Amino acid sequence: MAKMNMLQAINQALTLEMERNQQMLVFGEDVGHFGGVFRATSGLQDKFGKDRCFNTPLTEQGIAGFANGLASNGMTPVAEIQFADYIFPAFDQIVNEAAKFRYRSGDQFHVGGLTIRTPYGGGIAGGHYHSQSPEAYFTQVAGLKVVVPRNAYQAKGLLLSSIRDANPVVFFEPKRLYRASVNDVPEDEYTLPLGQAEVVQEGSDITVLAWGAQVSVIEQAADMAKEQDISCEIIDLRTLAPWDIETVAKSVTKTGRLIVSHEAPLTGGFAGEIAATIQQECFLYLESPIMRICGLDTPYPLVHEKEYMPDATKVFEAIKASINF
């Protein structure tokens, strides 16, 4: 074990897999000698050369299209979109090409070796072009997996699983935790299962669910609730597509209550899909309405970032409201 922050864990995962898999390439804007805007790819070009870790032009559509071509020819491309806010020019290549490659070829061809890494979310005073959480856009697309780690340990294991998965994966990294999340992380390689949520803390009164950076927020809210003798079961979803319905439903069947929290706006956020599915699966066990504590239906505001973000106090108030319903 070693103490690592999330950036170090991601860098080590990339290093280990590039050593293991000679077909793996890492590319994106400024990822080479500069090491990426957050330094997640530091040292990779020096270690593996410019043929395997290199800069691309500033064209997200080109990055994704190039990655599709490499993956369809048996390579293992790990492409970085510098900020998730700029993934939208690549949207067509990801959802119409990468996601459908296997289906439209009748499983003759695929881009299963493709992983797209991108930093997402707020909390760094980045304004509306460097703070968005667009993960829900990709969950409706059959053929893609969507993964979001919450800490350094999860980031390394989930990233290695994503790179080795037989399907294209969009890997969202909570950038405000890049240096803030420090954990004991094994220095050897290990993988964590995709499509499987983690029960971070068991409880009996209410289920509180999140992913990525929002998990630490609901943990704070659960600590506040504990002081009022409210027992919270905390779940980290980890994978949004496919998401672990069974684990969440089992928890809600036990507690009778559910709160889902994410940074993305309320309308069209993935919490709505979770709420609809769980009310269908657990309707007769629910003691109160499922609640969503999310970002606001506005552009991400620089000056009012604190008001926009779903924080521990907002989640705690929702926990009390659900319990007292």
Yes or no: say if 114 and 168 are a contact pair by the CB < 8 Å rule.
yes
Angstrom CA distances, 1 to 185, 187, 188, 220, 272, stand at 5, 6, 9, 26, 38
Beta partners for residue 260, in sequence order = 209, 292
Q: Which residues pair with 54 in a beta bridge?
A: 27
Supply φ then ψ for residue 92, to 5 degrees: -60, -45
DSSP string for 99-111 = TTHHHHTTTS---
Query: What's the length of the chain?
Result: 325
CA-nearest of 325, 60, 54, 12 to 185 is 12
Q: What positions carry a catalytic annotation?
A: 60, 130
Query: Would you say 162 and 147 are in contact if contact means Cβ atoms under 8 Å apart?
Result: yes
Of the candidates 99, 25, 37, 33, which has an alpha carbon nearest to the alpha carbon of residue 63? 25
What is the crossing angle of helices 214-226 and 312-323, to 10°? Answer: 50
